[in-house]
Structure 1
């Protein structure tokens, strides 16, 4: 699942806080989750496996008027290990019509008890783990009647949604869609909740002829019923977690694409069919890249992506059929401002991490979400280069450090008060950054080979964090308990103070690093670090290991270095204060190779903007190759002198018209309106008010409206 974090204030706040103010969530129903009381001893382990569902077949039809789901479930199952004479299913708020044991063509009624949530069915005998059986359940699910606070925690937990069911809203189409994560699919079909239970499935969906349907797996056939309805039969032959089962129904246009010999399709409302390929068209390239990079080909029958109205999250990675919120309904202009490739790559990467190999418990959710978040980084790195990927990494780091947390939980945590707490910036953004550190710690060859081993060894199974560690240890030959213990199985992050000095008498460089985090709450970190020493037109890399609270490292240097760049790979997840002079920051901006080098230098110079050399270098950054740094550098304007503002006036006009990124053009338009209101910029506004990007048009209209 992707909870969509919007870029706030163009992330400029990150230059000062290493993170936005509280990230803004979009399109989400509020969820009230209480924290654990101090001293409460809670352990959220994996659910005990009593029954193994082998296959579920559903025959479904719907009543739009009552918002009922009429279902017939045929469940093929067996005891997981111990002999059993019953099967216990999750079924929330159903009306049960009948339950029977299926024997060939015969149905034998079975006794059962039902409390409105748990359905306990007494079998005809005690079965061993080598004996399977099939039961039939005729039921009615009533998701709209589930009471918030009693049956479900929030409106976002209904699991099954009728959109505009009475058709009275003329601006909204009638649709049906489902959302299973975390444990909401049991609101519309009887199953076993939890990420540990995997099954194959067949779903027959009866819909009005004018609508199309979508579900997991392949559409095997469609049958016209002669009464204005059609039954679509979908089959998924590979096992997946029960929470990943989905259906959707509505007036969608299907735009067909392909990857190798597999169907790739985009389901959109008719009004947005013309931009479906613009928005989703890189999907086959993404599938090919991830398949090759992981050494595991996309493992499912097809891949469909559907955009629905009023979705309860950003997107959901249902196996072979991802559902997206309606902000993916974009015009070409809106696509310029935000193309949402991050969310597309996130959900696709889940089809390896989360769908193929699934966390066995919600406590282990980062095995799904951290990897999907890192999939966004990998795609950006492949498609657009490390410069763009590192900006994505900065967004994730900023979202984590700027998160509004009353407590700082472990990444893999077994003491949550509610499983919904797991869907936070710890599991997503922090976890993604930890995976990046793991990659930097072991190297690319080990990293991707270990991921291949992890995926192939545990394909179609569920896992816990130690399965990932063991794969990395097997490939690398290293003991990595220290890494997993301090990052995945602990809370917090390092807070580093870095001070570099040069002793001309001893001709030595010293780098002193202090770990400032509260060691009574957070680990004393072991961190391999690269230190680049720039001297005499050359750069020399030193490798060190930080593993003490206060540590000093000494390097020989014949002359005073121009720069000592600690954490030269810029991969440490944490807060850093690196005490550099203005000249050192200027040197770093102009000479160090990475986006994050320039980012840190510009961030520091923005705090030194009373100094003329800092302002001059920030003006240089108006032409930086990275749009984000260009935008952030423009925030120096409030400290520019009158002469400095005059000197860059024509440059700002040019940026407003010609910068390749719409958000930078919009920032320049805002500057023209705020700092050059006495100038005649009407010729610029006449052009920018016709810009294809809404952000630029809005900036222009706001200025014109104030004149």
Structure 2
């Protein structure tokens, strides 16, 4: 899963050591007017020791029937599991079939992507949520099985799942999609996506088909979003040294996803906030998420942890190999800056007392991801690049399609290197605090980082003492982290000589550097005006937005400026357009009729057809300006019960803020009179928090 997930991982549940679920075949039906899953799932099960019961994890079932070897049998259901009582003898192979209807409350999400009141997109999230919330399955990730899925859905939609598409059959108003796998996986990696998509296909250097999905009519965004996908795929195959372990690789964006991305086997699902045009991709690049989820196809999917204590074997490895992919794409300075930034965050976590050892199952995402990545880098430094690659290849080869512990991995390290890893374990795996001293020593071993630390030390010096150093940095065109650090330090000084440095580095035409220049500028003056005017057309919506605000503050002809910018920009992101609308509403030269139009356009951005990021920005503006309409408050109340906790948390804060105003309180109370008693109580609870 992507590095910005916030849940504490606990995917391990009690194993059925007396049974081995070998394969599963699911046949599922979906209808546009229902948020139920109807179908059946059939398991082939090998009995490994005699027992009088079997169970299948199943939640949110409305109805079900169980068949054993074709015969209808009785079963018990407690809302969590289907329990089957019979005499199961060692070495028997049985068929267990369950016909069911489920009403998922989580793990499968029905999304109204266009705001028309019915779902037009479905996606699943099994990791941390359990596939058994929508499909009877086995929560224990140690029980891997072959999966085959048949999906029947309305014929205007595309249905995706794990494995190769073996058949696509058109029936009356529906299409039946059949997917099949040739290697086993854990149930949490089962995935379904249904929606309105087009796609195009690439092939890796080794011939693996890479299918890239996008919303209909938006191929320009697809080409921008996926522009590094093949490069990353080919790099990871070479770097890891083990062939891609699945039949096909797909990527698909979805609306209102819980995290940045999820590495379902052969099918990465990611938040469409990363699905952007060329300019938007410069601001919110998919590359890190892309590489991270792709690396999981080996680390997590091919070789899977036995329990959450060893979760860094998934996230730490995926994070580190995504960093190596970015090093390949963007160079050593970029990679070293990633190491430095992660170390800074981990040191801060230790300082605040929130740090835990890497093998603690309750560790934070920061620990599992970034501390885990640092542990791997420390190991690589210890054993050398060549030995490290051999270790990784040996680890994957000997544990393919199996479950492992940290100690299994360390055993492979010792087999290859002969090293005693006791000190490594104590410092990097069992240390409750991040080993900052060791990390700093590693960073200082790189000449580039030693220069960077010397530059950082200049932050407490006066301008005359730092000027020579700044001039040297300004000559290093390819050292983007150092240039950005210099720009940030220049904000601390009033010496006008800094503007010559800023102008010089702005001419390098580096997106990250120019963005830093604009974001660090407090106001325009005679020395920086020409630079900001040049950057107003930078291929970055973030840079354009900040530059627009600075120029709007600076000019007397505010309306003329805004109209000129609107006409010269071919495209605007929703966030840039909202910023333009807010400035227009604050510009006296616009007429009342024009402002009414702009207010209407701004208010429309709270509608559920927009992304969470866009809606959140709209609520921020409207609440701050106290111009929320009744429809905006209706959207806000609905957002308070959204399935993504970060979004509903902020929405609830906004609702409480609005309720404190006289107008907001009146609108909210009126809306509550339209609600059921149950919904009224839910809103009252939010307001009282």
Both proteins in one fold, TM over 0.5: yes
TM-superposition CA deviations, 1:444-499 (whole Å, max 9, x none): 12111111111000000000000000000000011213212332133213354xxx
Instruction: Give 1:292's match in structure 2, choosing from 238, 260, 274.
Output: 238
Q: Is the 8 A contact 2:37 2:102 kept in 1?
A: yes
Instruction: Give 1:222's match in structure 2, choosing from 168, 172, 196.
Output: 168
Structure with the largest fraction of helix: 2
- State the match for 1:92 in structure 2: 59
Return 82-91 or 314-323, whichever deviates more.
Answer: 82-91
TM-superposition CA deviations, 1:137-171 (whole Å, max 9, x none): 01111113xxxxxxxxxxxxx10010018x6449x
Instruction: Give 1:61's match in structure 2, choosing from 29, 44, 60.
Output: 29
- State the match for 2:447 in structure 1: 594
Secondary structure of the 2:255 match is: coil
Instruction: Give 1:693's match in structure 2, choosing from 540, 564, 567.
Output: 540
Instruction: Give 1:141's match in structure 2, choosing from 102, 108, 111.
Output: 102
Partners of 2:22 and 2:244 in 1: how far apart? 23
Instruction: Give 2:287's match in structure 1, choosing from 338, 341, 345.
Output: 341
Distance 1:611 1:344, change over 3 A: same
Distance 1:665 1:220, change over 3 A: same
Q: Is the 8 A contact 1:78 1:127 kept in 2?
A: no
1:610 aligns with 2:456: no
Distance 1:122 1:423, change over 3 A: farther
TM-superposition CA deviations, 1:216-269 (whole Å, max 9, x none): 0100001111x2001000011200111001010000111211113221011111
- State the match for 1:506 in structure 2: none
- State the match for 1:637 in structure 2: 490
Q: Is the 8 A contact 2:347 2:436 kept in 1?
A: no
Partners of 2:317 and 2:59 in 1: how far apart? 31
Offset of residue 273 of structure 1: 1.8
Offset of residue 354 of structure 1: 0.4
Offset of residue 410 of structure 1: 1.6
Offset of residue 437 of structure 1: 0.1
| Runs of 4+ in structure 1 over 4 Å off | 44-48, 670-673, 683-686
- State the match for 1:583 in structure 2: none
TM-superposition CA deviations, 1:289-333 (whole Å, max 9, x none): 222222211111000000000000010000000000112211111
Partners of 1:457 and 1:46 in 2: how far apart? 25
Q: Is the 8 A contact 2:487 2:502 kept in 1?
A: no
Higher RCO (C-alpha 8 Å, min separation 6): 1
- State the match for 2:658 in structure 1: none
Partners of 2:13 and 2:186 in 1: how far apart? 17
- State the match for 2:333 in structure 1: 387
Partners of 1:678 and 1:71 in 2: how far apart? 70
1:43-82 equivalence runs, <5 A: 47=15, 49-79=17-47, 81-82=48-49
Partners of 2:249 and 2:418 in 1: how far apart? 37
Structure 2-normalised TM-score? 0.75
For the aligned residues, what is the CA RMSD?
2.6
Offset of residue 653 of structure 1: 3.1
Secondary structure of the 1:402 match is: helix
1:371 aligns with 2:312: no
Secondary structure of the 1:297 match is: coil
- State the match for 2:2 in structure 1: 2
Distance 1:391 1:357, change over 3 A: same
Secondary structure of the 2:365 match is: coil
Distance 1:423 1:234, change over 3 A: farther
Return 451-460 or 172-181, whichever deviates more.
Answer: 172-181
- State the match for 1:652 in structure 2: 502
Offset of residue 685 of structure 1: 4.3
Instruction: Give 2:109's match in structure 1, choosing from 156, 161, 182.
Output: 161
Partners of 1:311 and 1:191 in 2: how far apart? 23
Offset of residue 569 of structure 1: 5.0
1:488 aligns with 2:443: no
- State the match for 2:251 in structure 1: 305
Secondary structure of the 1:597 match is: helix
Partners of 2:520 and 2:208 in 1: how far apart? 49
- State the match for 1:331 in structure 2: 277
Structure with the largest fraction of strand: 1
Any stretches of 5+ residues in structure 2 without a counterpart? 555-689
Return 486-495 or 454-463, whichever deviates more.
Answer: 486-495
- State the match for 2:180 in structure 1: 235
Offset of residue 611 of structure 1: 6.2
Offset of residue 637 of structure 1: 2.5
Offset of residue 601 of structure 1: 1.3
- State the match for 1:127 in structure 2: 89
Distance 1:457 1:376, change over 3 A: same
Distance 1:399 1:280, change over 3 A: farther
